[in-house]
Amino acid sequence: MAKKNSDQLFQLIKSLTKSEKRYFKLYISRITSAEDAKFYKLFDIVDRQKEYNEQKILIKAPSIKSNQLSNIKAHLYKQILQSLRLYYAGNNIDFRIRELLDYTTILYNRCLYDLSFKSLEKARNLAVENDRASMLYQIIEFEKILVTRFIKSNIEDQVNQIIGQSDIISKKLASVNTFANLMLKLYSFYLKIGFIRNHKDFELANSFLYSTLPVFNEEQLSFDEKMYLYNALVGYYFFIQDFVRGYDYAKKWIELFDNNKKYVALKPEMYIKALNNFLVAQAKLGKYKEFNETAKRFDELKELPENILTLNIQLLIFKYSSTHKINRFFMLGLFTDGVKEIPKIELQLEQFSNKLATNYILIFYYKFACMYFGASDFQKAVFWCNKVLNTKEVNLRSDIYSFARILTLISHYELGNIDLIDYYIRSTYRYLIKKENLSKFYKITMKFLKKLGGISPSELIDAFKTLKEQLLPLTNNPYEKISFIYFDIISWLECKIENVPVQDVIREKAAKRLKIS
């Protein structure tokens, strides 16, 4: 019976590179037992399958009985992981430190305290050199046990040194933990609602930040503490739409890595996130020249050594680089050029779809819809909006769902589907009320769209002008202005008033704002 590709063994085998598969086969070549021969056969069969199918496995490997398959799969899964651990042991610092800790434990249990201590020293040196604070804490805790077994004449000095180091690393880890937890909590708010919508949201985020942050002296913080602090503060300022302060802390985050070059290779994921947040801030603030310079730095990430460019890092690079490629077209108003890139990004998105979080897939779908809208391809805009609206994770990013509905309404108007607008307005009202998100922007816009079908052609331009006059004051409202980032309705209204494509209006504004000739 065929199963979905959620099978763990299938996913693991399909994630292997050619060199990893070659190493695995060398790793198990020493095994000759009948049972091991079966899991070797199973590996080859699953590797060739495009979709996981147990029935076909049993047909192609008659020596494997149906009641044996579960155990053989579990054994194969474990052997693959063990081979991968050995494959990357030489290049992965964490693996090497854990291996030394394992050796330390083995030697300690044999009462070989001198040898155990030497193994632990090697682990300590690696942890210090590569700034592995959490592992260093484990090493120090082991030292506390070992020092009582491996007694020397200078035991008092050694004990005082261990206790002092333990206190320092404990405080550092406590700060890192606090900053990381703060970022995680803010991220959960963001996943639920997007950016703050009202004063209630602001008070929630603000009170949480200042009740969580400990008293600290920024200059005295370690690299890790600063890195997680800047990460949390960038997230906070983005969440409350203060992109100027968000930019400042994103810049500090980048400068932290620039002043400590070795950490780019040691903490590549956080470096990539730092570049991503800097690009977000530059795009929001229209710093086009800076944006291009940072984008070049981001492109250089593809030149990182192979042992650093794990699939996880490749996923991050795809996710962020594709997003900023789209954002660049938005900044310049080059929607016709932008839609040409969408099929390429869509293809990669499909390849990574089972690895990307749903909220990020929603972001891509909505950005695609906006790109097609800007290029006046309203049919495609509706198509991608529907992809957003048909996603089952309705508790994620209510902001994107809300604006996908607005964009759908306006696209149907452009397509002449006036009969659909009334239905969509009613369902959108119900959704926004349920999500407690019926802002002035939504009220004014939907009231206008509801009566749009009854406005005579001769009165349309005046109606568009009136709507623009009603919406313009909201662009300076701290809780309403974010609506115009999700969807530039002012430019759309101006294109209707001036009877030109919306792309032309946005491009002209971009040229003036970014000082591009």
Domain borders along the chain are: 8-88, 392-517
Q: What is the pLDDT of residues 244-303, one digit of tens each?
A: 999 999 999 999 999 999 889 889 999 999 999 999 999 989 899 999 999 999 999 988
pTM over the 0.85 mark? no
The CA distance from 146 to 130, in Å, is 23
pLDDT on residue 321? 93
Most confident of the ranges 64-68, 315-319, 433-437: 315-319
Are 407 and 369 in contact by the 8 Å Cβ rule? The answer is yes
Q: Which helix (H) or strand (E) holds 45?
A: helix 34-48
The CA distance from 375 to 337, in Å, is 9
Are 7 and 49 in contact by the 8 Å Cβ rule? The answer is no
User: 185 or 407: which carries more pLDDT confidence?
Assistant: 407
pLDDT category at 1 given cuts 50, 70, 90 is very low
Are 471 and 490 in contact by the 8 Å Cβ rule? The answer is yes
Question: CB 335: neighbour CB atoms within 10 A?
Answer: 22
Residue 35 pLDDT > 60, yes or no? Answer: no
Taking each helix axis from N to C end, the angle separating 398-414 and 418-434, rounded to the nearest 10 degrees, works out to 170
In whole angstroms, how far apart are CA 249 and each of 115, 211, 216, 231, 234? 46, 20, 16, 8, 6
